[in-house]
A and B are shown apart, each in its own frame.
Chain A
Amino acid sequence: MENFEKSGINSITENLKNTDIDEKKTPFIKIENVSFSYDSDEDEAPLPPVLKDVSLEIKKGSFVALLGHNGSGKSTLAKLINLILIPTKGKIYIDGTDITSESLTEDEMYGIRRRIGMVFQNPDNQLVATVVEEDVAFGPENLGIEPSEIRRRVDEALQTVNMTQYKKHSPHQLSGGQKQRVAIAGIIAMLPECIIFDESTAMLDPGGRKDVMNTIEYLNREKGITVIHITHNMDEAVRADRVVVINDGTIFLDGTPKEVFSKVQELRTVGLDVPQVTELFYELNYRGIDVDFSELDEKKCAEALANVIIQNRK
């Protein structure tokens, strides 16, 4: 009898898994007509909304770059997704659960925060402990995980970000890029399904930036973690599979990097740059040299340029 029941439960969970696979098309993150304004000080006029009627769907396993000028509401949007802030209007669904519902319990809230990790700009202000491995353990410790399992996760996370040899170091002995990788390890030790990087490369030198970008790409491609990468660096945005441009609290452009960056004029009106190659090809086109500038890969661009030069000689 007991066996029968157990197998019954098993088959139900299996069914759930199957439907999960079927529902791959339903987005992992679904933002529906969300508006948000920060609370003003008591006797002052209410602040204008930071986000206005934003709708956005993000698929599991995708790599989305979020662009926009300073103060356009990118960080605010990120904080809404992992429940640090609550929308003034609209609904947000994570994997089908309504996280904006009134009946969300505290445990469910922490569950969402575990699933949607967040890495910030200043690596110094996210590390809590005085030893690298203790810091990586901070998240799992908060989740109440068994000590042996925490140990395993910490070692694995440090391995993933390639910082194992620094595990006994203290954070202030590390470079910016290394600190940021420790911060990432601290998040992946909680086994999130999605990580939001809020300008996590902005304060780093080119070397550190490259290391962190490679880590982000590795997490997305090899570990299947959904990535939302907020950045001002267009050459980083090119590496995403989708680019979302936000301007004054609304979605301004949304598409593949090729689609978005071909709209050079529009991007410039909202105060954004385009990747260097796009800029070069755009200017060439502007001056009457006919090249296809939707290509974003530097090597391919070089080839296209070479072709143009050869053709012009003939």
Chain B
Amino acid sequence: MLKDITLGQFFPGNSALHKADPRMKIILTMLYIVFVFLAKATLSYIFVVFFTVVLVIISKIKPVIILKALKPLIFIMIFTAFFNIFWTKGDSTPLFEYKFIKIYKEGIVFAVLMIVRIACILTGSCVLLTYTTSPIALTDGLEQLLAPLKKIRVPVHEFAMMMTIALRFIPTLIEETDKIMNAQKARGADFNSGGLIKRARALLPVLIPLFASSFRRASELATAMECRCYRGDKGRTRMTKLHYKPVDLFLLILMVTFGVIIIVINIYLIDILNFSV
């Protein structure tokens, strides 16, 4: 049962976004988030939604999957929207007034735009990065992208190595947890009944052996890595070098165009369709 957990929620595929270089995808995601925050006019929000839909189409990820990802965040979105409705003050007369509660048109518009913004950023970064990039590629991409920081002694390589090892051992540890749980069940342990505290306590005999074995694994792995001449990134080369491909250029151009359009709308078309924000 525990084995079904997958990490990183990577959906393998062969779309342009799947084929793109992970470094480029990290850059694109950052650009995308910045551009979405730049959007001011209502028209630009419409355009943001349009562009996000385009990204989803390029990624060939099923919309159902994206809706599932948004589901747990609905509460946060509604919560933010709720506060925005009550806290925003407009110039015009309130649409609704009851004692100290005043709701303005601006508040409602702002709340809606807020939801659109959160949903778009989430969808966009999922499609650009987590859904289309394998965790290993992501780690490699991050390491190579942040490589310049090594000069100011940021342990970039070490973090990447930690990520890789964590990813490598997650399935192993899940399997082991399963085994220990079954062993404890065979001895009469009950994980599925009782209140929260009772259940948490029932997990203790699972966690302790798991910790003990993780320490043993860590020490054995360290020795094995030493035997394989691991000495940090000193003099280390990589078998697969990342290369930018034409598809990366295409995606970059697409993203920059998106940014330019947002800025143009902000400057010249801010009054069209605007409810003022």
A interface residues (Cβ-Cβ under 8 A, vs B): 79, 82, 84, 106, 110, 113-114, 117-118, 120, 122, 124-131, 133-134, 137-147, 150-151, 154, 170-172, 183, 186-187, 190
Contacts and interface: CB of A to CB of B under 8 A. Distances in A.
A118 B227 contact: yes
9 contacts: A106-B231, A113-B227, A120-B223, A125-B220, A141-B239, A144-B236, A151-B239, A170-B171, A190-B228
Given A110-B231, A120-B223, A128 B237 contact: no
Contacts of A129: 136, 164, 168
Contacts of A127: 168
A85 B229 CA distance: 14
B236 A141 contact: yes
B220 A128 contact: no
A144 B230 CA distance: 10
A113 B239 CA distance: 20
B238 to A, nearest CB: 6
Interface string B221-259: 101111111110001111111000000000000000000
Contacts of A154: 239
B229 A114 contact: yes
A257 B168 CA distance: 40
- Secondary structure call for the B interface: helix
Contacts of A128: 164-165, 168, 221, 224-225, 228
B135 interface: yes
Closest 4 CB pairs of A and B: A126-B224, A125-B220, A172-B171, A137-B239
A125 B165 CA distance: 11
B172 A124 contact: yes
A106 B175 CA distance: 38
Contacts of B226: 84, 113
Given A110-B229, A113-B227, A129-B164, A150 B237 contact: yes
A141 B220 contact: no
Nearest to B223: A84
A151 B238 CA distance: 10
A211 to B, nearest CB: 20
Given A122-B220, A125-B220, A130-B136, A187 B228 contact: yes
Given A113-B226, A126-B224, A139-B228, A134 B239 contact: yes
Nearest to B232: A142
B227 A142 contact: no
A237 to B, nearest CB: 23
Contact of B167 (A106, A118, A126, A130): A130
A171 B241 CA distance: 22
Pick the most buried of B164, B172, B236, B239: most chain A CB atoms within 10 A of its CB.
Answer: B239
A187 B136 CA distance: 22
A147 B164 CA distance: 20
Contacts of B240: 134, 147
B19 interface: no
B201 interface: no
A128 B218 CA distance: 11
A134 B136 contact: yes
A91 to B, nearest CB: 21
Nearest to B238: A141
Nearest to B176: A124
B168 A144 contact: no
A113 B237 contact: no
A236 B236 CA distance: 37
Nearest to B224: A126
B4 to A, nearest CB: 13
B96 to A, nearest CB: 55
A190 B229 contact: yes
B150 interface: no
B217 interface: yes
Contacts of B228: 113, 128, 138-139, 142, 186-187, 190
A177 to B, nearest CB: 17
A131 B239 CA distance: 13
B221 A125 contact: yes
Nearest to B230: A142
A128 B220 CA distance: 11
Nearest to B139: A130
A139 B230 CA distance: 7
Contacts of A110: 229, 231
Given A125-B224, A142-B236, A130 B135 contact: yes
